Amino acid sequence: MTTPGRGLHGHVLETLGPAITAGEYPPGSVLRTDELAQRFDVSRSVMREAVRVLESMHLVESRRRVGVTVRPRSEWNVYDPQVIRWRLAGADRPQQLRSLTVLRSAIEPVAARLAAKHATADQCAELTECALGMVAHSKGHQLEGYLLHDVAFHRVILNASGNEMFARLGDVVAEVLAGRTHHDVMFEDPDPAAVTLHVQVAEAVRAGDAARAEHLTKEITEGALQELDILAP
């Protein structure tokens, strides 16, 4: 899942990026390219390329005679998958999971509604397959198998919505679901009600019942919100 930092420039990013997003360098902090190059034992060229990437993520700003200044969090490109990964690996992982779960609660119901209208026969078949897979792994501590089908299910929904912006959130949803399974809430079998809801969503999409697909998905995401003690919208 993690990108193994191709090349020296990638290695530098995999160290500097998490450090910055973790708040190790507070907003306004000034870094110097030469010093960083020395610290990481790379050439200035490599460090400059790394800084350029951080700049394109709006994590830092590079100005002459000043150096590389860290920008405030409010300006970061928080939708950049790499930034999301770094933040999920760092100190504000809980905060990040909350933000993303709220995002899910807004996106997925609408995506399900659109999926009910646009899904192909193949996608419908895949959807029911995933739902059945979830049922099959819902008892007896088969969390990994369950997660696999759960992630696949939500990916299909997002893709079937026909909206590219929704489709690109597949990785985010996967990360949130994986995070929940591996670190946080789930120690036992998943909630049977949630499993049922997924099956019903698959049915609704297959039947082309947009309103029902949206409503059921909303119930799923509200469940996710409650798990994190977020007031249900």
Nearest of 166, 167, 168, 152 to residue 202 by alpha carbon: 152
31 binds, among its own copies, DNA, none (CB under 5 to 8 A by kind): DNA
What span, in angstroms and rounded, lies between the C-alpha atoms of 19 and 144?
30
33 binds, among its own copies, DNA, none (CB under 5 to 8 A by kind): DNA
Q: How far is the CB of 167 from its own copies (least distance, A)?
A: 7
Strand 30-31's sheet: what is its strand order?
30-31, 67-70, 60-63
What span, in angstroms and rounded, lies between the C-alpha atoms of 121 and 203?
12
Residues in Cβ contact with 163 at an 8 Å cutoff, skipping those fewer than 6 apart = 111, 114
Residues in Cβ contact with 5 at an 8 Å cutoff, skipping those fewer than 6 apart = 11, 13, 14
Q: How far is the CB of 192 from its own copies (least distance, A)?
A: 27
67 binds, among DNA, its own copies, none (CB under 5 to 8 A by kind): DNA
Residues 42-71 that bind DNA (CB under 7 A): 42-46, 48-49, 51, 62-68
106 binds, among its own copies, DNA, none (CB under 5 to 8 A by kind): its own copies
**Site residues for its own copies per CB under 8 A:** 9, 45, 48-49, 52-53, 55-57, 73-74, 76-82, 99-100, 102-103, 105-107, 109-111, 113-114, 117, 163-168, 210, 214, 231, 233
